[in-house]
Amino acid sequence: MRALVQRVSEAAVRVDGEVLGQIGPGLMILVCAMTADTEAEAEKLAARIARMRIFRDADGKMNLSVLDTGGAALVISQFTLAADTSRGNRPGFSAAAPPEQGERLYEHFVRALAAQGVPVAKGRFGADMKVSLVNDGPVTIWIES
């Protein structure tokens, strides 16, 4: 699985003008299941992200996790993270998991992150979503399982 993790002051996702999920301080996570991914990889990625120390401690050093700070996560499915831009001008997405597998692994990742103790809000798989966020830092980190 691939994830793009952003430390945020706030984030929200809307579909057709309706707010589906929103958080205050925490993590905005764009996540993509790849064709060979499994539930075990979703769990491993969730555990890594929950414990990733990218929040400031009292000395201003990135030394705390979202668990340490009591923050939340907004998780958005994002198949375009599988983009292959090595040829031509149009990205290819054949490395992304097919929709059924992608949705299953996305939902599994959301449950696995919540099981780590992180409050989770989410978008709607496959929907045309409008995502807003205030990146704190900015801190943006790319992770692959």
Considering the domain boundaries, does residue 101 fall inside one? yes
76-135, pLDDT tens digit by residue? 999 999 999 999 999 999 999 999 999 999 999 999 999 999 999 999 999 999 999 999
User: What's the domain range around 64?
Assistant: 2-137
Considering the domain boundaries, does residue 74 fall inside one? yes
Considering the domain boundaries, does residue 143 fall inside one? no
Considering the domain boundaries, does residue 76 fall inside one? yes
Report how many domains make up the chain: 1
- Give the active site residues: 78-80
For residues 66 and 47, give the distance between their C-alpha atoms in angstroms, rounded to a whole number: 11
Alpha helices per DSSP H over 1-145:
39-51, 66-69, 99-115
Considering the domain boundaries, does residue 144 fall inside one? no
Considering the domain boundaries, does residue 98 fall inside one? yes
Token pair belonging to 46: 């969730």
Considering the domain boundaries, does residue 27 fall inside one? yes
